[in-house]
Amino acid sequence: MKMFDVIVLGGGPAGYTAALYCARANLKTMILEKMWPGGQMATTSQVDNYPGFNEGIDGHELSERMKLGAERFGVISEYGEVVSIEASGQPKRIKTNSAEYECKALIIATGAAPRSLNLPHEDELRGRGVAYCATCDGMFFKNKVVAVVGGGNSAVADALYLSKICKKVYLIHRRNRLNATKTYLAPLDEAENIEFIWSSQVVEPIYGDLLTGIKLENTETGAVSQLDCDGLFIAIGRRPNTDLFEGIVDIDEAGYIIADETTQTNVEGIYAVGDVRTKPLRQIITAASDGAVASKFIEDYFVQLCGRNHKVKSLRYKSEPNRFFVLTPENYEVGELNLEPTTDNTFIITHVGVDNSYNGLGIAKELVRQTVEAARQNHWKLIPRCPFAKVEYDKHPEYKDTLA
């Protein structure tokens, strides 16, 4: 059974950001993804609201970049469907349809999928006129005519957002009144380009290469009509992918995992990031932010585990040719840093490895610091080639005098 410090369930922007940050903290980290990297993001043809891409970027390409960025620091990507989780105590055990794994910290990043109308050809028209996120895709329909389906807060918020961008917005609801809260009523009345279509449901898209309109059925009379539009925004809610975690962590009435801005759940060592957790805004950038935050609290958690499981009063830092290492009072080796000689007085830092049960992050940092001190005393030059050493050099400008 493979053992990891951290296992991340779900390879979307939240999952890969969490994995990247954990790996850079020298935690042995694995991503476990059911289908493909990126999750919902990978199905988006154009992402225009993620910073750093002035021409936008294809969602699939952004997914691959996130995956490669994490793997650059040692993250392992595995694929499989999780069938069971044993989350109480340590270690936590995850069983898939093909393998079993253990970890000390578990990050849930399984996301949430928009609910569909199950229209004919709905999936193939996604990105060609059918959309599920106004803030993500609204600008593609600037000065065009769109329809929003739904009657709750999400649908009304989408309609109001699109009314500032689009020439005309139709808000379609199968009942004769909205389910949205009263705070939305005044802004709706003030929006001159929003028109309500009551007691109606979409039954079929009309399209060529792109969506050109929709067929509507009146829920009271059964009459069918046609509405010309350039875009159809389906806003009937999302379904979080949390079935597997019922009875393991606390879940709210909508199905989302209850976790605050620390991303910590009610179970020690389990964290929820991205669209799967309770939060006010679900975007790529907020998902990535969750991943970074989770890693910080996981580092703290490992420090607690160290103090709880191993009452080590002292560690001995020693060196020998081409190696620095750490021993407990019982002579158990809990960390090492390897050097590879190149030319006279020049060494490559090739590896920093630690046992995270003994405050591994602190040990790794101290190994690099002591190697830098030895380089100064012996007039060595160092080349930090392993990822952790590179990160430490980036964090500590005062180490730069030892660079080759």
**Residue in 197, 202, 33, 195 with CA at minimum distance from that of residue 107:** 33
Cβ contact 103:3 at 8 Å: yes
Diameter of the chain measured on Cα atoms? 90
Q: Which of 298, 295, 286 is nearest to 111 (CA)?
A: 286
Which is catalytic among the residues 5, 137, 230, 290? 137
Q: Which residues contact 222 (CB under 8 A, 6 or more apart)?
A: none
Is 136 catalytic? The answer is yes
133 is catalytic: yes
Which of 22, 103, 136, 386 is labelled catalytic? Answer: 136
229 is catalytic: no
- Paired tokens of 304: 């607690």
Question: At 334, which helix (H) or strand (E)?
Answer: strand 333-341
Catalytic residue among 133, 229, 306, 386: 133
Q: How many CB atoms lie within 10 A of CB 99?
A: 12
Alpha-carbon distance of 382 to 275, in angstroms, equals 43
Contact 46, 140 (CB under 8 A): yes
Specify the DSSP class assigned to residue 14: H
Using a CB cutoff of 8 Å and minimum separation of 24, what contacts does 350-354 make? Answer: 350/385, 350/386, 351/386, 352/26, 352/386, 352/388, 352/389, 354/26, 354/326
Q: Which residues are catalytic?
A: 133, 136-137
